[in-house]
Amino acid sequence: MYKIMLVEDDRALAEEMKAQIESWGNEVILPTDFQNIIDAFNKCSPHLVLLDIVLPFYNGHHWCKEIRKISNVPIVYISSSSDNMNIVTAMNMGGDDFIPKPVDPMVMMAKIQAILRRVYDMSGPGSIPTLSHKGAVLNLDDGSITWGDERIELTKNEFRILQILMENKGKIVSREKLMTKLWQDDCYVEENTLTVNVNRVRKKLEAAGLPGFITTKVGSGYIIE
């Protein structure tokens, strides 16, 4: 099951799209606070974002730019303005695809499925969603990682650390972002707790033959390069 965040202020349309997407076995999150889309994004950590262009307070281009500062998650624009210039602008802002309004449910699902297959290595309906990097495969269903014939069991926090870093591979993820995503409901977590969890993941990966999988950027955070 994939988690999809749908940023659409037309509630009737949003509910129609949500029903269609969930009929394919996915989960859809509908943010209602259009001033704080990034907060909603950080809380739900979606696998894909569907983003309208015309929104209250800030437009879709603004939120695409803000999301791109912290994540490489696929972003698909939705807009009634489907002229070439608008599509080019959407792609240049960091969008991965464009769905014109009125939304055709079959076209929408075809584009969503194609992107999920490409990004998360989904080879077909019913297959297991994964993230992969340099031959290591993170299983999003059972929270394990495999390397060759080796299967590495992970704790919940170890899995979340690898998931966040692999979703943002090639980008530095700050310690603050990792701590927010891992312990968003706990304001009293010591910063050293994150270091301990990262070191545990590293030891497991090194024991399986994956040294240096996670790189520390002193003063900035962590990165999978």
- Residue range 62-94, pLDDT digits in tens: 888 888 877 778 888 888 765 566 677 777 767
Count other C-beta atoms under 10 Å from residue 57's C-beta.
Answer: 12
Count Cβ atoms within 10 A of the Cβ of residue 2 and give its class: 0-12 exposed, 13-18 middle, 19 or more buried: buried
Q: Please tell me the distance from the alpha carbon of residue 21 to that of residue 162, in angstroms, as a whole number.
A: 27
Q: Which two three-digit tokens encode residue 202?
A: 């590293």
Model confidence band, residue 129 (pLDDT cutoffs 50, 70, 90): low
Residues whose CB is less than 8 angstroms from the CB of residue 32 and which lie 6 or more positions away in sequence, other chains included: none
Tokens of 179: 């701590």
99-115 pLDDT, tens digit per residue, is: 888 888 888 888 888 88
Residue with the bigger pLDDT between 88 and 123: it is: 88
pLDDT surpasses 80 at 50: yes
Q: Are 167 and 131 a contacting pair, CB within 8 Å? A: yes
Q: Is the pTM of this model over 0.75?
A: no
| pLDDT computed for residue 124 by the predictor | 44
The DSSP element (H or E) to which 100 belongs, if any, is strand 97-100
User: Can you give the pLDDT at residue 122?
Assistant: 46
First to last CA, the chain: 27
